Structure 1
């Protein structure tokens, strides 16, 4: 279990660090406390690896910040004698979601609502996987203009061997469960420093459930992708993945087999606090004439919000510009949740 410092502390100047050198990310994470990136395992077979941290602490006056843990290691492979270089980092950001609609949709949907993400446990509003996650903070931390504040975490890295071999090798967060604990620990520290922490610190006490389905290959153009009737592409050889399927969240991702380029990313968000990150983005008119709710269809991202089963549901589409894909997905989700179709039947192809 990850060990992290308590959250009952005051606010400090952004350039003063009252915690010991063996703690990182505003004092939230302790060296050798569980995840590989915080221990010697991060250095591979090397004996001279280094770990360093940089951070900017949120404050009440400037409620944004970041922290980063960087790992570097170089050694000779015991197998073939090639020089091996490991470069990894874990980055955390704290701050309100972007003001511009496209920037906000790109940040939230592209990075944190893919089919490889799962819902945070214990009703916490956000998503997580083994490489990072997003947590929407309580309303007390909202920006003055009402935008929700979020904490995000991402692991990056590369492994290079010899003169020509390089592969992605993200820092090891210890799996989705451990990543959730890391994310929440950092969020508690950030909120306390910014002066908006709830009376009781946020806590991960339950297992991470609702793991996504496998990424599966589709050889024909007639399959109903992600189990969504009518969600089809004329292109053959695709990969599709069904992510979370709950009352609060549902996701689907489709990508090309040969190039891995996304063909469509779809998501439904009904968890109130997570859905709040999309407030003000749907306008006051239907996305398409005849559709329920309000929204916009864009070149990179589309968004529709409509009442469904007694509460607002937000439907998102990225990568594709075909409204038929969004219509098929939204209507299938609406049927599952027990509410009226979002788009006319003829809109889904």
Structure 2
């Protein structure tokens, strides 16, 4: 819950800003950039300007989904969560719906700027977001749709960076599995009483932790060269081999210092993911009350960042993994004032 009922709220412009921050779940935004960065790392390429466009597209589509979610649930929220921005009257429903439309358009436009492969992923991602909020959320297909959206978001980073989203299917599947587990738990966020979902999420977290500590098979040399050819800071030698300027550190996954950092980080990041998600899942399993279920959902959302960082390190991009991991404390800081659920 974003705030207790009856808690005094700021008035005027500060109150409107707070209402929109709650509607858009702003602290949850810190869980988004890691998708594109993990997708880029899975292709053995360094992040580039197109990766930044993919991140911008992801942020817009994510926030579009948040606004559309509350617009679609406004009648339900009026009964169960009257403190939320729409039922409390702090944000008009028409404004929320218009915002969702504008953000969706902006997300698709940014993906188009990143290239046709990125747009080819962003279009079904946007369609999945809208289908989930308007039709699938309260059906058995809801958690699968949410998992699909998160997986597509990771593929968007790969498609924008290199035009080769297929190379990121493995990390996308792992991230989607985590999202599936969190979404399944969230379906009882207001009612509680279902220990099976958090127990299944706890088991999934253990399996994912084991998988992300391993190292995927390295792409053949030709694939690594193709992934980095034409990227900023790379040149092609006469014999066709990609060469890079000598530097102590490089964000490209195949660069030895980045690989060494990634190898050292993988166990730590996997442990951080396990610690963030497992404890609240266990508490919700033992006592599936609404407050503990809500904490389990929040813990699962926060755990997305260390999982993204672990997946990035698993692909050999140590410095990018550090960048992703640094988003976690920022998200926790902002979550103290605005709830992520």
What TM-score results when the alignment is normalised by the length of structure 2?
0.25
What TM-score results when the alignment is normalised by the length of structure 1?
0.25
Q: Which has the higher strand share?
A: 1
Report 1 or 2 for greater relative contact order, CA contacts < 8 Å, sequence distance ≥ 6.
2
Higher-Rg member (1/2): 1
Q: Which has the higher helix share?
A: 2
